[in-house]
Structure 1
Amino acid sequence: MARRLLLLLLPIILTSSATASKNKSSSLLPLPDGPDPCSGRRIHIRWLPARFNTHLLLYCATAFPLADPDSKSTPACASLANHGLGPRTHNGTRSWYRTDARLLEPFFHRRLLERACLVARPAQADAVFLPYYAALDALPYVLHPDLLNSSALHGLPLARYLARNQPRVLARRHGHDHFFLLAGTAWDYSQPHDAEPRMYGTTSLLRLPELANFTVLTLESRTWPWQEHAIPHPTSFHPSSLPRLRSWTARARRSRRTALMLYAGGVSRPSRPNIRGAILAECANRTSSKSNNVCIVVDCSAAACALNPVAYMRPMLRANFCLQPPGDSPSRRSTFDAIVAGCVPVFFEHAAARAHYGWHLPRGRYDQFSVTIPKDSVVMGDVRITDVLAAVPADEVARMRERLLEIAPRVVYRRHGSAADLRESTKDAVDLAVEGVLRRIRRRVSALEDGHPDAIYELEDDDGAH
């Protein structure tokens, strides 16, 4: 099964970036005396041995079930279908897929091959993309007991390869023009090399000094490392045309919202008071009363929701507010599901989203499309979530929902090979991520060329326009 699906992926993923660049750049040749549309936007996709990308897809049959022992919704290797989007949720859809976030790396690679302004030679490029499937490469280190103490080696073979193979490419700008995607949170890949004992489920990839100057796109970044930037968790919605995108947003806009709020996540009670326990207690009290439309709880324990968007998207369409408490880390995929559903996110700390996704969500305008309630006040019992949300006027909720649906295309990963009308009408999560990387790299390279390398570490992030 794994090999058959891999064969479906290889023809596109292994397409020569030189061929792609020839086709794409030729369509954007500047007019005589006109501006160069590729100026500052040229990307070279560096060829890497298959052991760093496509061969890693063969792990799915053994590694995915080990990583998700309780998930029975989708056969492990089926997630490779549709270039990493996974199988369709049902035969009639062309927009909804059972997407495994760990396969964002091959999908992102696939999407980059569609971009204009690809170039065959790194010397012509403004940025160099490494098609390294880092999260998949980490699986043996984080899942195999015999390799636990070797997890500090994650990424070292890649670093050694780049140092030996065409070293001038890396040395030209000291790696400041290189970037890659890591389909996971930065916290899981930043364990100190000398940690003893080694922490299960983590590696030291982001601590490698050889990769220190690379820009790394992650699903959740830390607050201080300047080389990281977070991009949205992938949802299961991947439209292929503008009518399909508009059809869904119209459905979300007209959906009848009969419940005040919704929580989708694990339902096990914590051993000590925390925000999730407080939410579950409040929902239990409310749903046991006469007003049973106050709170919907979607039990996502044991990976029940991981590859089954029907389980949570339909309830989200019925709720006005979707609660986003932090879990193992501050951010949640559910935040982006809620945005797509037009369900107003309710945050309990700024680190849940505001601190991470500035290229895709307007940091200074969260109050226009979300609600924030300090988690300590909820846990201590000083504030009831239902009281706060019930006090928001209906017309204000409608305005927030409209703003959500306006920005939803920015956090959606549209399907590869999508129609021109969709590509030309809106920028999706991949477009904005690449634009952000190019802005960041241009600023770094400019500092280097101006003879001020120390300024690189003082550059503030550029969130772009919204």
Structure 2
Amino acid sequence: MPPPLPTTAILLLAAVLLHFPPPSTATNQYSNADKNCTNKWIFIRQLPPRFNTDLLSNCSVYPLFDDFCPYVPNHGLGYKTHNKSQSWFRTDPFMLELIFHRRMLEYSCLTTTPNQANAFYVPYYGGMDSIKYLYGPEVNNSFQHGKDLYNYLSQKNSPAIWNKNLGHDHFMVLSRSAWDLNQPLGNDPLLFGTSFLELPEFYNVTALTLEARAYPWQERALPYPTSFHPPSLSFLKSWINRVKKSKRSTLMLFAGGGRISANPNIRKSIRLECENATQMSADGTGYSNLCEFVDCSNGVCEHDPLKFTKPMLQATFCLQPPGDTPTRRSTFDSIIAGCIPVFFDELTAKKQYGWHFPVDQYHKFTVFIQKEEVVFKGIKILDVLKSIPGNEIRRMRERVIQMMPRVIYRRHGSSLGLKELKDAFDIAVEGTLKRIKSRLKEVAAQ
């Protein structure tokens, strides 16, 4: 169990603020003439605390949502899984805004000169702010979500910065699925969701979300934070060695909720096939177990990585079916464990994480089985996976391990050696800068 929280949320907030270095400490690490920062300069928009850190003080006031106070410490990484842990934390994906903000303060090409900036980061905790509209007192005013922020950026705080490109050069992180933030402005306000991403005022802003929709140009999905945040290259290498040496005694694994719908769907098919597989002999396959199901019902796995990481270390393939929405944190948990992801819908990863999963490399570390083939045509997942040659499996696992640094969020303040490897944050910033540069060219040509 995590240690008890401070007696008041204000104390918790104060502890967080004390550990946030002022932006000036991360600025001027490079001179203006340094070629390393050409086209990479970022200016952090200064927001009143009500748009970010003040929201942390409400971490326990939404009983219909959850008490997220235990996941705020360590700048959003949460408490350590045990006292001596250096790399493993009880991380909640909804803390990505806080994690990203903390890492931005370490970004080496920050500038305090707006005219020098190639992009502007808005440290707005929009996912946290949405909770009051989704579960709290503002549930009937979800169409208002974001309007106060827009008024501040465009009218109250250096409006010339916003008006120069009308937001095309701005970006922000929203640690929710885009589907939670796309309620049409004219809808009944009692419907679930806010209208943040439907506000015309923010159409030009690049929104980095946990899950993006396929059509709006401004959205881009970022990897879900896992519980693994190494502080140095040695800790990362140590974990990779463990992953490489792990004995894979299970052919395939599914970690997810235990409920089975009455209607045909891919999760139901997986559960039924896995139950049948436990009664089959694994002789001749090289495995002692054909399928393992890790029951993560009621969120029991969400903040306890031991429950699923150890089984994933022992599995060759990890099944990643879509659920309420296409994407899953489990995709990234499986990569951390060296377990080859098996997808059943292209929206689960291929059409989401193009920056982090290069499309031309996608087939080299994943398996794809069309969900309709399984649900309606009787294709057996086990038959498909057993048909993959052993040498091909070894190549795929090697590629999965190579992908690992691209999907982790290394610990803030990490050592220089680890910083030389691009992690999920680095790739997200690089992709955002390229996207903004391209967009500004398009706008200028119009």
TM range (shorter): over 0.9
Query: 2:354 — aligned with what?
Result: 358
Query: 1:250 — aligned with what?
Result: 241
Q: Write the mapping of 1:55-94 to structure 2, written as runs, cut at 5 A.
A: 55-63=54-62, 65-68=63-66, 76-94=68-86
Query: 1:442 — aligned with what?
Result: 437
Q: 2:339 aligns with which of 333, 337, 343?
A: 343
Q: Write the mapping of 1:344-423 to structure 2, written as runs, cut at 5 A.
A: 344-423=340-419
Q: Give the deviation of 1:3 after TM superposition.
A: 2.7
In the aligned structure 2, how far is the partner of 1:208 from the partner of 1:306? 32
SS at match of 1:236: coil
Q: Give the deviation of 1:42 after TM superposition.
A: 0.6
Q: Tell me the alpha carbon deviations over residues 199-223 of structure 1, each in whole angstroms, 9 at most, x when there is no partner.
A: 22x1111011111100010111111
Query: 1:7 — aligned with what?
Result: 14
Q: Write the mapping of 1:11-410 to structure 2, written as runs, cut at 5 A.
A: 11-13=18-20, 15-22=21-28, 24-26=29-31, 30=33, 36-63=35-62, 65-68=63-66, 76-144=68-136, 146-165=137-156, 166-196=158-188, 198-200=190-192, 202-291=193-282, 293-410=289-406
In the aligned structure 1, how far is the partner of 2:68 from the partner of 2:425? 25
Q: Give the deviation of 1:164 after TM superposition.
A: 1.4
Amino acid of the residue matched to residue 67 of structure 1? F
Q: Give the deviation of 1:8 after TM superposition.
A: 2.2
Q: 1:230, 1:356 within 8 Å by CA — same for their partners in 2?
A: yes
SS at match of 1:235: coil
Q: Give the deviation of 1:25 after TM superposition.
A: 3.0
Q: Give the deviation of 1:302 after TM superposition.
A: 0.4
Bigger fraction of residues in helix? 1
Q: Give the deviation of 1:290 after TM superposition.
A: 4.3
In the aligned structure 1, how far is the partner of 2:293 from the partner of 2:10? 39
Any unmatched runs of 5+ in structure 1? 69-74, 454-466
SS at match of 1:195: coil
SS at match of 1:82: coil
Q: 1:5, 1:78 within 8 Å by CA — same for their partners in 2?
A: no
Query: 2:445 — aligned with what?
Result: 452
Q: Which is worse superposed, 45-54 or 373-382? A: 373-382
SS at match of 1:62: coil
Aligned residues: 433
Q: 2:253, 2:317 within 8 Å by CA — same for their partners in 1?
A: yes
In the aligned structure 2, how far is the partner of 1:17 from the partner of 1:176? 23
Query: 1:460 — aligned with what?
Result: none
Query: 1:462 — aligned with what?
Result: none
Query: 2:3 — aligned with what?
Result: none
Q: Give the deviation of 1:410 after TM superposition.
A: 0.4
1:429 and 2:424 equivalent? yes
Q: Give the deviation of 1:258 after TM superposition.
A: 0.4
SS at match of 1:226: coil
Amino acid of the residue matched to residue 399 of structure 1? R
Q: Which is worse superposed, 427-436 or 387-396? A: 387-396
Amino acid of the residue matched to residue 437 of structure 1? T
Q: Give the deviation of 1:98 after TM superposition.
A: 0.4
Q: 1:12, 1:110 within 8 Å by CA — same for their partners in 2?
A: no
In the aligned structure 2, how far is the partner of 1:243 from the partner of 1:199? 49
Q: Give the deviation of 1:253 after TM superposition.
A: 1.0
Q: Tell me the alpha carbon deviations over residues 164-221 of structure 1, each in whole angstroms, 9 at most, x when there is no partner.
A: 1221110011111100000011111111011126322x11110111111000101111
Q: TM-score, normalised by structure 2?
A: 0.94
Q: 2:41, 2:110 within 8 Å by CA — same for their partners in 1?
A: yes
Q: TM-score, normalised by structure 1?
A: 0.90
Any unmatched runs of 5+ in structure 2? 1-5, 283-287
Q: Tell me the alpha carbon deviations over residues 323-349 of structure 1, each in whole angstroms, 9 at most, x when there is no partner.
A: 000001111110011111110000001
Q: Give the deviation of 1:265 after TM superposition.
A: 0.5
Q: 2:409, 2:425 within 8 Å by CA — same for their partners in 1?
A: yes
Q: 1:25, 1:119 within 8 Å by CA — same for their partners in 2?
A: no
Q: 2:70, 2:79 within 8 Å by CA — same for their partners in 1?
A: yes
In the aligned structure 2, how far is the partner of 1:382 from the partner of 1:438? 45
SS at match of 1:294: strand
Q: Give the deviation of 1:445 after TM superposition.
A: 1.9
Q: 1:151, 1:203 within 8 Å by CA — same for their partners in 2?
A: yes
Q: 1:369, 1:400 within 8 Å by CA — same for their partners in 2?
A: yes
Q: 1:17, 1:44 within 8 Å by CA — same for their partners in 2?
A: no
Q: Percent identity?
A: 48
Amino acid of the residue matched to residue 342 of structure 2? V
Q: 2:256, 2:296 within 8 Å by CA — same for their partners in 1?
A: yes
Q: 2:142, 2:189 within 8 Å by CA — same for their partners in 1?
A: no
SS at match of 2:247: coil
In the aligned structure 1, how far is the partner of 2:373 from the partner of 2:380? 8
Q: Cα 1:155–1:197, aligned 2, differ >3 Å: closer, same or farther? A: closer
Q: Give the deviation of 1:365 after TM superposition.
A: 2.1
Q: Tell me the alpha carbon deviations over residues 129-155 of structure 1, each in whole angstroms, 9 at most, x when there is no partner.
A: 0000000001111012x5322111111
In the aligned structure 1, how far is the partner of 2:114 from the partner of 2:64? 39
